[in-house]
Amino acid sequence: MYGTTGSLPVGTSGPQPRLIASAVPRPYTDRPDRLNGKVFFTKTTGGDFVCSGTVVNSQNQDSVWTAGHCVADNISHTFHKNWVFVPAYASASATGTSRPYGTWTARTLTTKNAYLNTTAPQFKEDLGVAVLNTLNGNHIVAKLGSQGIKFNALAQQNYNAFGYPQAAPFNGLSQFRCNSALLARDDPGGTGPKAMKIDCDMTGGASGGGWLIKLNATTGLGLIASHNDYKYNNDPNHMYGPYLGSDALSLYNFATAL
């Protein structure tokens, strides 16, 4: 978030009041809540960090969609270590953690070469997929279900963005949600289609949380069409996410067949 891989800073103007993101009601046992999760990892250069992700329908039944900077560091050109995904993570306090569906480790982390192999900001290609190990013999999609995913969709949509924001004024212990129509397209530089802008004041830690379109209120199922990716320090009330075009499709096809 804020252009620094894996970082959890606050805006330059200090903590902002929560005006946009709303807390997802507990327990996170229904869809879409249980398909959203918190990511924990260690950078190869040192330090433990957090992100968010969404279980996505996949050929291997083991995949989580997230941001590229949540799986790899484009400064050192290395993939993160000790990567785990906790669906429906919830905590009533800093010492009382609830992991109702367990902790799932990654067997493979993937991103785009356009993100991994450059040290310049490359938010338009900041795409990641984690392929998980089974847990107690179960594939995560078979265990929990999954969200669909849509590539080359009409950008003008109503988005439901989910995540676990950790930087102030949030604390990373709860799941939050922003609902917004597309406000604008953004060009932060680099290759790929222009990114997308929505109303959302979630902070660092929410990176990688899915933006769902066509979310069915009855089934809790929709289509991932972007994810929380970056913000500007002087604009804390807006979130930006990559447009999922043909490059994103190629990553999905590669990762979900592993």
Helices in the chain by DSSP H: which ranges? Answer: 113-116, 140-144, 246-255
Q: How confident is the model at residue 12 (pLDDT cuts 50, 70, 90)?
A: very low
Q: Which two tokens stand for residue 140?
A: 């995560």
**Burial 5-42, CB ≥16 within 10 A → b, else e:** bbebebbeeeeeeeebbeebeeebeebbbbbbbbbbbe
In the prediction, which pLDDT does 93 show? Answer: 54
Length of the chain in terms of residues written: 258
> Where are the chain's structural domains?
22-255
What pairing do the DSSP bridges indicate for beta strands 158-163 and 235-241? Answer: unpaired
0.75 exceeded by pTM? yes
114-141 pLDDT tens trace: 999 988 878 999 999 999 999 999 999 9
**Contact criterion met (CB below 8 Å) for 180 and 223:** no
Mean pLDDT of 144-171: 97
CATH of domain 22-255: 2.40.10.10
Residues 6+ apart with CB under 8 A from 109: 71, 72, 79, 80, 83, 128, 129, 130, 131
How far does CA 135 lie from the centroid of its chain?
21
pLDDT score of 236 more than 70: yes
In the prediction, which pLDDT does 13 show? Answer: 39
171-202 pLDDT tens trace: 999 999 999 999 999 999 999 999 999 999 99
Paired residues of 210 in beta bridges = 227
